[in-house]
Chain A
């Protein structure tokens, strides 16, 4: 019975999630679709909790840790989402994205350190762990660098714009590969894990740091301009919003810290 309920909830959650993403692609349905996707996520969590309801280790202690993590992360996320000014949306999304990466990195780390407790044994689990560690680390550091750049806290060091950065990044990619192979060949030693974490974290920095130094600036800074426009709420005549305009003429632009139409 519990199984059936779990599958039913999961099915509905997946369906709602797909509908939500689909709806996000049309202006009229976008806001409702976002809420549908949020409900789908809540359902997925509910389904998981129901499926583990009978588990002996799902006790008061586990609940304490769950509530603790939920309270801190959820409240911080909610407060930040409400308080942050509309002009710094791109940075905020970058920060959120980085935290998602950190989360999957930590889960993969837990699975790598305690495979027996989490049933994370066997080749499939191992490959998943390696991929999650790699992607999680890159996402975290890359997003944090992106946030710092958008925020204006960080500028590109000159050597990062030279050809030297390719050597640096390729060396890091090779080190990450070595770490990944070592992890798969020799999972118990733990050396591969830390090599993979360190090298892919640095790779995340190495890949994102040159962005914005040259012509790549456009996409990021157009987004920033876009949101400056949105926040002031100004519209152009003819029913076309500044938002549309901002994108269409933003193609070949350089970033202007004080757009004239704000």
Chain B
């Protein structure tokens, strides 16, 4: 099982490296922001903690607070990235208006 996890880690790292390879400097900040939003995938772990908690209130509370933080990251991150990228797409639109 441990080896399996190591494989996933290795493949994930390689995939990330491959995907991020050649990025124009203008996109570094939105990419950072977008990748950061994806890192909020801990929502899954938080949800699992809540679902498996049963009647354990401390666990429910930890899971819920964690879910809140994760969703703050995810939703905020994607929306902010969208706002940044919307500024890039304004360029061609302006030209058409002229």
Contacts and interface: CB of A to CB of B under 8 A. Distances in A.
Interface of A: 17-18, 20-22, 24-27, 30-31, 33-35, 37-38, 41, 44-45, 48-49, 52, 55, 57-58, 61-62, 65-66, 68-70, 72-74, 76-78, 80-82, 84, 86, 89-90, 92-93, 96-97, 99-100, 102-104, 106-107, 109-111, 113-114, 117-119, 123-124, 128, 223, 226-227, 230, 233, 235, 241, 243-244, 247-248
24 contacts: A21-B20, A21-B34, A35-B82, A41-B40, A48-B47, A48-B48, A68-B64, A77-B71, A77-B76, A80-B72, A80-B76, A81-B80, A96-B33, A99-B69, A99-B70, A100-B69, A100-B77, A103-B66, A104-B70, A107-B63, A109-B62, A113-B58, A117-B59, A124-B5
A39 to B, nearest CB: 10
Given A25-B27, A118-B49, A74 B72 contact: yes
A103 B82 contact: no
B36 A100 contact: yes
B41 interface: yes
Contacts, number: 262
Given A69-B65, A100-B39, 15 more contacts: A21-B16, A25-B31, A45-B44, A52-B51, A69-B63, A73-B70, A89-B84, A96-B73, A104-B42, A107-B42, A107-B45, A110-B59, A114-B53, A124-B1, A244-B26
A161 to B, nearest CB: 26
Which residue among B37, B61, B86 has the maximum number of chain A CB atoms within 10 Å of its CB?
B37
A29 B79 CA distance: 16
B42 A62 contact: no
Contact of B68 (A44, A73, A243, A244): A73
A101 B80 CA distance: 18
Contacts of B86: 31
Contacts of A84: 80
B27 A103 contact: no
Interface of B: 1-2, 5, 15-16, 19-56, 58-91
B38 A103 contact: no
A25 B20 contact: yes
A55 B51 contact: yes
A34 B80 CA distance: 10
B36 to A, nearest CB: 5
Given A44-B44, A73-B69, A107-B45, A27 B26 contact: yes
B95 to A, nearest CB: 9
Contacts of B20: 21, 25
Contacts of A230: 84, 87
Contact of A73 (B5, B37, B72, B91): B72
A22 B19 contact: yes
B26 A69 contact: no
Contacts of B58: 113-114
B62 A96 contact: no
Contact of B50 (A18, A66, A89): A66
